[in-house]
Chains A and B, each alone.
Chain A
Amino acid sequence: MSKMYYRELYCGSPIRFWSGLALLGAFIAIGLGSAYYMEHNGHWVTGMSNQIVWGLPHVFAIFLIVAASGALNVASIGSVFGGPLYKPLGRYSGLLAIGLLAGGLMVLVLDLGRPDRLIVAMTEYNFKSIFAWNVILYSGFFAIVGVYLWTMMDRSVSKFNRPVGFAAFFWRIALTTGTGSIFGFLVAREAYDAAIMAPMFVIMSFSYGLAFFIITLITAYIWGDREIGDLRLTRLKNLLGVFVGAVLYFTLAYNITNLYITQHHGIERFILLDGGIYTQMFWLGQILIGSILPLYLIYSPAFEKSRWAIAAASIAVLIGGFFQIYIIVIGGQAYPMNLFPGKEVVESGFFDGVVASYTPTFPEAALGVAGIAVALAMVAVGARVFKVFPETLEDPNS
């Protein structure tokens, strides 16, 4: 195989680069302004309440954090599992992972009731809390992926690439297990309290992370007027197909288990049949747009080498993934907790027994979008300053 050269990614037109960056900066500024507005007034100005305690910012944050660990997969396949076609993509994989995690964490922290007390979260740990573990897992991820990138980019330490790659791979599995367990460990609510949440989040991360990776990779190479070969894109595309199928399988296993357990029939009916917006999000968002459409685009012979189909499939996976997290986070809270089995709540001073309503507000959405903008800005600057992208990704022997 010919030697791979990496070069900073320069956009053909400087105006396009700087205006693109300025646009991301504007999104970030609006998001930070929104966070200030919500913090200054208190959360009553958002759609969140004492019934829906985690709102749209959490959906964005969890989506980005899950995608972050998945974005690292391409690097892992290259250095841990020895996939030569993936190896040149490792540096970008690491950079994207760091960017997505930073964006997600920013949203998560700025939605805290007391973001000024971040120091407390970093100095006081309750090791029975998966949240406390996640503080360590998330910050450790930055450090490990940083070192991983170093071993990929500096020849003098490249001998450590494989062991560090292994460490990063196990760390990222632990990270997404931890994120899934936030819900898996909640005994109170019927939608959660299931061990399958942890592996399901791991497989969701594979899918969303790769979709993010493919769509940004294609964009970057168009941006920098560089070439990507069909063989490499087809490999990535087929891998995405497997991951989308796996997410669908886990979704099936989760719902069938709940359908079997009489106690959980209520929540299943809510999500699958009569939950209004959540039912629509499940069937149209998660299943149709997020699963069936990308599988069709990926596996239909009609789109065998169509780059538009690959890009469209990746975007569909991301849209479907966003809906999936929305249903888990918001739908799981909207369905009322069953405090009194066998009883019907006739009156309550605190919304017992009724489906909680939630309408996201602009500041919440702006903060979430700012998280995506932070990820993309870090990637854009990182790829311009560091030698992240190979000069060309043309197929070997072509």
Chain B
Amino acid sequence: MSKKGDQPSMERRQFIGGTIAAAGAVTIAPGVILHAVADTNQRTEGASSEHRWGMVIDANKCADGCTACVDACNSEHGLTDLGRPETDAAWIRTVKLKDKQTGNISRLPVMCQHCEHPPCVDVCPTNASFKRADGVVLVDRHRCIGCRYCMMACPYKARSFIHEALSDQSVSAPRGKGCVESCTLCVHRIDEGVMQTACQEACDKDGHAAILFGDLKDPNSEISQVLKKYNSVQIRGDLELNTGVRYRNL
């Protein structure tokens, strides 16, 4: 082969340069578009650290066989049953427990506990998992890369990964394939000034009133009064995460 034939022609160099540029564009473009979309948020007032939203749940009032809170959450946030329980999203679930020593039975709903020191936020590489100033732990769906490390880290198994493409979503909860999500404490309601979560509303409507939502920082709020008066526990209190969700009679 002649030496000249061995020399890469300019066209080939341009081709390689073009390929690199195209590969770069493919890597960067989706991010740029996402940021452009994210910037359209018009709300000007941020969450305030003067509040800390939380819940207290009375396990004694949680009725056997009732799924009102789960159904309400699913309908509020557009979580559909695809008939695949292992991959279907569950923001709230009911759990029935039996004490190994005494045989005592208790029942309670479990969801994101909105920790003060959330392990999901600690491990998230891109800051997609974050805690608002008012204590609500959320996932920024524009930043989540779907690594699922937060699901490994959450001690409450509170998070779900979106395993398929979704349609007919609820306006209050935009969701997307390949991202992680969990209970938002009905943040869309909080931001509209509605001080009641969908699960509490449903539980109250059914006459059980096991769930009470409110401001943990307001000493005069009903939730603060209840927590002051009665004994309550945190699930996995040993981890000292200072959860925003507390349980009575567990």
Contacts and interface: CB of A to CB of B under 8 A. Distances in A.
Nearest to A348: B95
A119 B90 contact: no
Interface string A144-176: 000000000000000000000000000000000
Interface stretch (B40-48, B141-149, B216-224): B141-149
Interface stretch (A47-55, A79-87, A292-300, A374-382): A47-55
A349 B98 contact: no
Contacts of B86: 49-51, 351
B98 A135 contact: no
Chain B, interface size category, equals 35 or more
Of listed A43, A48, A123, A134, residue having the most chain B CB within 10 A = A43
Interface in A304-360: 333, 337, 339-340, 342-352
A41 B164 contact: yes
Interface string A121-134: 10111101111101
B94 A349 contact: yes
Nearest to B151: A53
B161 interface: yes
Contacts of B7: none
A345 B123 contact: no
Contacts, number: 191
B155 interface: yes
Given A42-B163, A339-B156, A339-B157, A350 B93 contact: yes
Contacts of A256: none
A77 interface: no
B127 interface: yes
B119 A119 contact: no
Interface in A95-143: 112-121, 123-126, 128-132, 134-135
A340 B154 CA distance: 15
Contacts of B122: 128-129, 185
Of listed B27, B94, B97, residue having the most chain A CB within 10 A = B97
Nearest to B235: A339
A7 interface: no
B180 A113 contact: yes
Contacts of B95: 339-340, 345, 347-350, 352
Nearest to B108: A340
Given A114-B178, A188-B153, A339-B110, A44 B99 contact: no
Nearest to A42: B164
Contacts of B75: none
A187 interface: yes
B133 interface: no
Contacts of B125: 121, 124-126, 129, 131-132, 134-135
Interface in B60-112: 67, 70, 82, 84-90, 93-101, 105-106, 110
B124 interface: yes
A123 B27 CA distance: 12
B236 to A, nearest CB: 6
A125 B127 CA distance: 7
A189 B144 CA distance: 23
B8 interface: no
Contact of A44 (B101, B110, B163): B163
B146 A42 contact: no
A124 B31 CA distance: 11
16 contacts: A53-B161, A112-B145, A113-B148, A113-B177, A117-B146, A119-B27, A120-B34, A126-B124, A129-B122, A134-B125, A185-B123, A337-B157, A339-B236, A343-B97, A351-B85, A352-B157
Interface of A: 39, 41-44, 48-51, 53-54, 112-121, 123-126, 128-132, 134-135, 182, 185-189, 333, 337, 339-340, 342-352
Given A44-B87, A113-B148, A113-B177, 7 more contacts: A44-B82, A49-B86, A50-B90, A113-B179, A339-B155, A342-B100, A346-B97
What 4 pairs between A and B have smallest CB-CB spacing? A113-B146, A113-B178, A349-B93, A131-B125
